[in-house]
A and B are shown apart, each in its own frame.
Chain A
Amino acid sequence: MTVESQSLPAPAPEVTPEGAPFWAATADGRLTLQQCAACGRHVWYPRYVCPHCHSTQLEWVEASGRGTVYSFTLTTRGILDYAGCGPYVLALVELAEGPKMMTNLVGVDTSTLSIGDEVQVVFADTGQGNALPRFRPLAEP
Chain B
Amino acid sequence: MSIKRKAYIAGAYEHPGRELPDTSIPQIHAEVAIGALADAGLSLSDVDGYFSGGDAPGLGGLAMADYLGLRVRYMDSSDMGGSVYLSHVGHAAAAIAAGKCNVALVTLGGRPRTTKLRAPGQLMGSPPESDYEPIFGMNVSAVYAMAAARHMHEFGTTSEQLAEIKVAASVHAQYNEHALLRNVVTVADVVNSPFVSSPLHRLDCCVVTDGGGALVLVSPEIARRLDRHCVAVLGHGEAIEHTAGGFQDITVTGAVRSGADAFAEAGVRPGDIDYAGIYDSFTITVLLALEDLGFCAKGEGGKFVLDGALHAPHGRLPFNTDGGSLCNNHPANRGGMTKIIEAVRQLRGEAHPAVQVPNCELALAHGTGGWLSTRMGNATLVLGREDA
A binding-site residues for B, Cβ under 8 Å: 8-9, 11, 13-16, 18-19, 41-47, 50-52, 70-82, 85, 88, 90-92, 95, 98-104, 110, 115-116, 132, 134
Top 8 nearest A-B pairs by Cβ distance? A99-B246, A44-B246, A82-B137, A73-B145, A75-B197, A13-B131, A71-B146, A45-B132
Check B128–A47 contact: CB distance below 8 A.
yes
How many A-B contacts are there with CB distance less than 8 Å?
A: 136
Check A70–B150 contact: CB distance below 8 A.
yes
Chain A residues lying within 8 Å of B193, measured Cβ to Cβ, are: none
Check A45–B129 contact: CB distance below 8 A.
yes
B153 located at the interface, meaning its Cβ lies under 8 Å from any Cβ of chain A in the complex: yes
B59 located at the interface, meaning its Cβ lies under 8 Å from any Cβ of chain A in the complex: no
In B97-152, the 8 Å CB interface with A consists of: 118-119, 121, 126, 128-143, 145-147, 149-150
Check B373–A8 contact: CB distance below 8 A.
no
Given A43-B245, A44-B245, A77-B197, do A71 and B130 touch, yes or no (CB 8 Å)? no
Check B246–A45 contact: CB distance below 8 A.
yes
In B165-213, the 8 Å CB interface with A consists of: 194-200
Check B247–A72 contact: CB distance below 8 A.
no
Q: How many residues of B contact A (CB 8 A)?
A: 43
> Of B126, B143, B145, B373, which one neighbours A14 at CB under 8 angstroms?
B126
Check B196–A76 contact: CB distance below 8 A.
yes
Given A74-B195, A74-B198, A102-B136, do A52 and B374 touch, yes or no (CB 8 Å)? no
> Of A14, A80, A110, which one neighbours B131 at CB under 8 angstroms?
A14
Check B119–A50 contact: CB distance below 8 A.
no
Can you name the residue of chain A whose Cβ is closest to the Cβ of B197? Answer: A75
Check A100–B248 contact: CB distance below 8 A.
yes
Check A75–B131 contact: CB distance below 8 A.
no
Check A73–B245 contact: CB distance below 8 A.
no
Can you name the residue of chain B whose Cβ is closest to the Cβ of A115? Answer: B153
A54 CB to closest chain B CB, in angstroms?
A: 11
Residue pairs across A and B with Cβ atoms less than 8 A apart, 13 shown, are: A14-B130, A19-B132, A42-B246, A43-B246, A70-B250, A71-B146, A80-B119, A90-B138, A90-B197, A99-B245, A99-B246, A101-B132, A102-B133
Chain A residues lying within 8 Å of B247, measured Cβ to Cβ, are: 41, 52, 98-100
- Give A70 to B246 CA distance when docked, in angstroms: 12
Can you name the residue of chain B whose Cβ is closest to the Cβ of A36? Answer: B245
- Give A11 to B143 CA distance when docked, in angstroms: 20
Chain B residues lying within 8 Å of A70, measured Cβ to Cβ, are: 150, 250
Check A92–B244 contact: CB distance below 8 A.
no
